[in-house]
Amino acid sequence: LNPTRAGLFTTLQEMGADLAFENMREEGGEPVADLRAKFSDLKGIEVPPERAASMIDEYPILSVVASFATGTTVMRGVKELRVKESDRIDAMARGLEACGVTIEEDEDTLIVHGMGPGGVPGGGTCATHLDHRIAMSFMCLGMAAQNPVSIDDGGAIATSFPIFEDLMGGLGAQIERT
C-alpha cells in the first residue's frame, strides 16, 4: 500500500472496483494489507499521466481489466512501457486485438475500448515477447474471456512469480501446454 506504488488500486477504484483493505499493518517498513475484491461493473476512465510512476508495471494487467469495462479507458504518459522487458504497449495492443478488443495507441498512450463484463471474445494467441507481465496478463484475460486465450511462451513468469500457474489453477484456470 506504499502510495508510491499503489496507483493501480486507486485506478481500479475510480473504475468502480469494490476493493476493501483489511488487516492493515506494516511489514518490512512498508504498509501492507489483505485485499478483498468483489465483482463489480467497471467503467472506462482517463488515467492521469502523473499516476504512471506509481503503477508503470501494472499497465499490462490494467489494459486487460479495461477490456472488460464499459466504455473507454485512456492511459497517457506511458511511453516508458515501450522500453521495459518488451514494448509493452505494442505487446498488449496486439494481443488484445487478437482477442477481439479495439485498441488505439501512440508513442505515449494506450486506449482500450472496453467491451463490458463478459464481452471479450478471446480465442486469440498472444505473443509474450518473453515478458513475464505480458504473459501473466494474457493468462488472466483467458480466465474471463468467452473463449480460451493462448500465449506463445509462459516461461518468463518464473522470473517473478514461480507459483503463478499453480494459483491460477486453484482459481479454475485450465492451462494446457502444447
Task: Report the distance separating Cα 99 and Cα 77, nearest Å.
Answer: 25
Active site residue 131: no
Amino acid at 78: V
Tally the residues of the chain.
178
Write out the three cell numbers for 152: 506463445
Whether 88 contacts 131, CB under 8 Å: yes
Q: Euclidean distance between the first and final Cα of the chain, in Å?
A: 38
Question: Angle 95-99-104 (CA atoms, 0-180°, nearest 5)?
Answer: 60
Catalytic residue, chosen from 18, 41, 57, 152, is 57
Catalytic residue numbers? 57
